[in-house]
Amino acid sequence: MAIGIPRFGARTGAGGSFSTTVTVAYPNDVVAGDFLIVAIASNNTADFTAAGWTGVFAQAGSSSRFTFLYKTADAADVGAVNLTVTISATLVSKTLKMMAVSGVDPVVPLDATPTTRGTTNMAGVYTMDSQTASIPGCMPVWGMTVNDNSSQWAPIPASGPNEWMDAAQESGTTGRSGTAYWESPLAVAESTGVRGGTPAETGANAGVYLLLRPYVVNLARDTGDGSGGMPQHKVQVGGNWVNGVNKVRSGATWQ
């Protein structure tokens, strides 16, 4: 099964407040088995968590964090309007956006361990390592944040990425800019390379890279030993059913 085209919920942008929760919208057509990812750009070291979701983040100094929360959708996500995300501190500037995509392996959704990188006071190009896919059809998903008020990034590589979150949220003198990208599943296993971007201003940059694994249907032949797979063709000889793979009849005998 190939990974599908992503669908998105509305972006949430929220400046610093005394609330320790924030909501982000679901796409309106989530079905059980979809893979869900929430991209979060924030401006300090606060953790973002949600019940039943797995989180991975990159931290740059004390002023810049990028987080992905992810899970395989179940019945509770179908028809849901908003997800409540808990923040471990107050006065955090943040932007969030959710993506849903079909065709991701529900048991092993990530083909490799996520790559993270945080760099402080960096100017120019910011990059993170990607991974080599183990099978064809994997989908790269990656995002970045920088602690300035600009939302402009130039993605690397120059061709291929599709932007799905471009956000700037200002809070006092500290702003939050975040951008996330997805790339169409590749026909061949992706080679090792880099992903990243060039921020409009120098700042503390943090990024996370995920490689989504497609769900592969096993079409192995059923050998009749209870191990499963596709059934063999069988034919009836007298009162007994026997395997009929590559067999022909010669008189009364199946060869």
Phi, psi of 151 (to 5 degrees): -105, 15
pLDDT reported for residue 207: 92
Residue 251 lies in domain: 225-255
Q: Are 102 and 182 in contact (CB under 8 A)?
A: no
pLDDT reported for residue 220: 54
User: 46-71 burial, b if ≥16 CB within 10 A, otherwise e?
Assistant: bebebeebebbbbbbbebbbbbbbbb
Residues 139 and 255 in one domain: no
Nearest to 142, CA basis, from 234, 41, 45? 41
CA 45 to chain centre: 22
From the DSSP assignment, how many helices (H) and strands (E) are in the chain?
0, 21
Give the whole-angstrom CA distance, residue 80 versus residue 26.
Answer: 7
Residues 52 and 139 in one domain: yes
Q: How many domains does the chain have?
A: 2
Q: Are 210 and 140 in contact (CB under 8 A)?
A: yes
pLDDT reported for residue 237: 43
DSSP H/E element including 39: strand 35-42
Residues 195 and 229 in one domain: no
Average pLDDT per 10 consecutive residues for the chain, totaling 255 residues: 92 82 95 97 92 95 90 97 95 90 96 90 78 89 78 75 80 67 78 77 85 80 53 46 46 50
Give the whole-angstrom CA distance, residue 147 versus residue 228.
Answer: 53
Residues 54 and 140 in one domain: yes
Q: 251 in a domain, yes or no?
A: yes
